[in-house]
A and B are shown apart, each in its own frame.
Chain A
Amino acid sequence: MKPGNASLSEPGPNVALCARSLVKRYKNSDHPALHNFNLDVQQGEFYGLLGPNGAGKTTAISILTGLFPPDSGIVRIMGMVFRERQNEIKQILGLVPQNIGLYDKLTARENLTFFGKLCGIRGKKLTARIQQSLVFSRLTEHALQPVATFSTGMKRRLNLAVGLLNAPQVLVLDEPCVGIDAQSRHLIHEQLQDLNQRGTTILYTTHYIEEAQELCSRIGIIDNGRIVEEGTPTALLQQSGIANLEDLFLHLTGKELRDT
């Protein structure tokens, strides 16, 4: 699908995550962070959002997960309009933020318990979910250790596990593998692919182009607040006639440094 087509149509019945004409402008900024941003992610899809620094990835994810509202435009999750049914949407939506949003002084189990209870899970269901999360993140043996004693890889795995506590239908991940070793990255990739195969819709942002190519069934390249190209990795390469995704990425977003 060519970028921008999404804005012309209503979302289909199988669209898990839909953004229409999103505009966001920050105070004291000359350019909008998002400018007519449109996106459709199908149910069960593993969608990668690629973009240089300042392209609007984090703003897009923040609006898509309800962290703050857009200046204009609309977001639907599983057919529900975000601003109308926030609480219901948050029950089926998972977010794995780029920063490791965990309490350092609490143990892994205590972190999972707290965030699980905030998701509204309780009793035996909560105990079972916590156990599943610990197994999922390979942290069962470290469950009673404070997070402060964890390596970055362990923290990233727990960060992911917390995002999965409510068994989300739609999972949004913001650079979940930054700064970790190959082993932890490999494990996270495996787990995400497994989740996706079991039906979880995933929206994934990354700086690593090869990572997106390996994991994602479809990729959108964002720059200057809008999607500039979109398609499966193979289709993108075929359409552009460029040999690899990194060259395509540079071709679309330019080689200028994005320091601001």
Chain B
Amino acid sequence: MLKILATTAKEVLLLLRDRTGLLVLFLMPAILVVVITLVQENVMELTGQSKTQVLLLDQDQGELGRLLRKQLEAGSLEFVVWDEKQNDVADIQAAVAGGDYQVGIVVPNGASTRFKEETARLFQQGNGPAKPEDIVSTSLHLFVDPGIMAGLRSGVTAQLQMALTTIALEAKIAMLSKTLRETMDSLGAPPELIPLDSGKLHALFRQSILTLTEDQGDSRAAGISLYNPVQQNVPAWALFGMFFTAIPIAGSILQERRSGISIRLSALPVSPLVLFTGKAVAYIGVCLCQFLLIVLIGTFLFPHIGLPCFTISMNLTAVLLTALLSSLAACGYGIFLGVACNSYEQASTLGATTVVAAAALGGVMVPVYAMPHMMQRLSIISPLNWGLTAFHDLLLRGYSLPAILDNLGRLFLFFAVTVLLSWKLARLRQ
């Protein structure tokens, strides 16, 4: 135990003396989590997971524009209204084509009047309903950025179409109600014989009789945040930073080999396993500090830069255990790299490549569900995936410790296997 502690103390001293290296270890994941989350916040907008801005040019200034805004503002669309006196259709088209806005909509001059007239023609008194082919549909102009994702395009157009359908339906009901009343009046029927008045028709129309309810399992009850880039990125980039410490760990082993320290260590009454453990303990401390830093950034910095706040609403012990076992896995990999490689150049190239690949495969950069099917199946081999899935199970799905034991077991097994392989390899190298 004394020898492990001595090795840990030595590693801590070496880390503290290499302030630049230490700064990089903390700065790199900190910068990445901020930049990537800010970038992905925009992607969330593009994919419709947050409010999308719609540019509106209301040349009509009538009821149609007002109703459209009323219908849509409750949803995920946010209107930016341009002055119809200073802008025309070409300006809207240019703004959307240039990527300044993803969606633009123009309500042409006279649209409200034409809409009313055509609705009235549908129920022309005396002549009965007009033929559908006689009705001229009032058209609004829609511009959509060709660069936006197909999902957002269909989502926005569906919302707009739904709003227009609702407006048209309400107008038809109002007109039907009016026509019905006028017809009954002309027949001299008392008002109580009129089956439905206009107000009742509207109320009946708005009455919901078929609904879709999303079941969010335990997460809503636990007060857990729904998926957002912060809840994804804070654990993801913390894991990335933690696994990147594999490179300095490997570097320290290779430095000992290059300088001849390892020869001296081999001649001392101490097992390589003791030295590996001492080294791992020091770097586990580094990994946990990295995790803490990223969590603090997510909790305290993000709300100040317009991002949602990171929350760990429950299972703090399980979250810490996941961070600890992820650190163990990262340290095990670093030790293995240090023993297996022949030079720092080899270790840094191989280490960086494998960690970035494992991060991509594990869902750090793109969520696993967004990957092709084959890559989703492959993601199970990435230790970062095990850590990230465990974090997501705790932070997003509201699972408790027993539910993530399989992934925690994989992380520990990875540590044990890499350290044992390193020990065997170190003996073989002799």
Contact = CB atoms under 8 A, between A and B. Distances in A.
B184 interface: no
B267 A118 contact: no
A154 to B, nearest CB: 16
Contact of A103 (B6, B261, B266, B430): B261
Contacts of A117: 2-3, 5-6
Contacts of B267: 65-67, 90, 93, 95, 97
A98 B259 CA distance: 10
Looking at A101, A104, A118, which has the most chain B CB atoms within 10 Å of its CB? A118
Given A118-B3, A118-B270, A119-B269, A110 B10 contact: yes
B268 A68 contact: no
Contact of B264 (A95, A105, A146): A95
B267 to A, nearest CB: 4
B18 interface: yes
Nearest to B262: A101
B265 interface: yes
A98 B260 CA distance: 8
Interface string A70-114: 000000000000000011001101010111111111100010011
A213 B7 CA distance: 40
A158 B269 CA distance: 20
A91 B267 CA distance: 9
B6 A118 contact: yes
Interface string B244-283: 0000000000000001111111111110000000000000
Interface in B20-74: none
Nearest to B260: A99
Contacts of B270: 118
A122 B9 CA distance: 15
Nearest to A67: B266
Contacts of B263: 62, 67, 95, 97, 99, 101
Interface residues of B, number: 24
Contacts of A118: 3, 6-7, 265, 268-270
A179 interface: no
A95 B6 CA distance: 20
A90 B261 contact: no
A110 B13 CA distance: 9
A86 B260 CA distance: 21
B304 interface: no
Given A90-B269, A105-B18, A97 B264 contact: yes
Chain B contact residues, majority secondary structure: helix
Contacts of B94: none
B14 interface: yes
B206 interface: no
B373 interface: no
B259 A101 contact: yes
Given A106-B14, A122-B2, A100 B269 contact: no
Contacts of A62: 263
A101 B269 contact: no
Contacts of B9: 114
Given A67-B263, A105-B14, A105-B17, A114 B6 contact: yes
A120 interface: yes
B339 to A, nearest CB: 15
Contacts, number: 80
A162 B264 contact: yes
Nearest to A114: B10
A114 B274 CA distance: 13
A115 interface: yes
A102 B264 CA distance: 9
B70 to A, nearest CB: 68
A67 B430 contact: yes
Contacts of B261: 101-103
Contacts of A146: 17
A100 B259 contact: yes
A169 B30 CA distance: 53
A163 B263 CA distance: 12
Interface in B214-266: 259-266
A210 B263 CA distance: 27
Nearest to B265: A118
Contacts of A105: 13-14, 17-18
A114 B13 CA distance: 11
Nearest to A92: B269
A99 B267 CA distance: 14
A101 B260 CA distance: 5
B264 A103 contact: no
B330 to A, nearest CB: 23
A97 B6 contact: no
A88 to B, nearest CB: 8
A79 B270 CA distance: 21
A88 B268 CA distance: 10
A97 B3 contact: no
Looking at A67, A98, A146, A162, which has the most chain B CB atoms within 10 Å of its CB? A67
Looking at B260, B262, B266, B267, which has the most chain A CB atoms within 10 Å of its CB? B267
A100 B262 CA distance: 11
Contacts of B265: 101, 118
A100 B430 contact: no
A99 B261 CA distance: 8
Looking at B3, B263, B264, B270, which has the most chain A CB atoms within 10 Å of its CB? B264
A106 B18 CA distance: 11
13 contacts: A67-B430, A95-B264, A97-B267, A98-B260, A101-B259, A101-B265, A114-B6, A114-B10, A118-B6, A118-B268, A119-B269, A120-B269, A163-B264
Pairs A-B, 10 closest by C-beta atoms: A99-B260, A117-B6, A101-B264, A90-B269, A68-B430, A95-B267, A105-B17, A101-B260, A101-B261, A97-B263
Interface of B: 2-3, 5-7, 9-10, 13-14, 17-18, 259-270, 430
Interface of A: 62, 65-69, 86-87, 90-91, 93, 95, 97-106, 110, 113-115, 117-120, 122, 146, 162-163
Given A67-B430, A106-B10, 12 more contacts: A90-B267, A90-B268, A91-B269, A101-B263, A105-B14, A105-B17, A110-B10, A110-B13, A114-B9, A118-B270, A119-B269, A162-B264
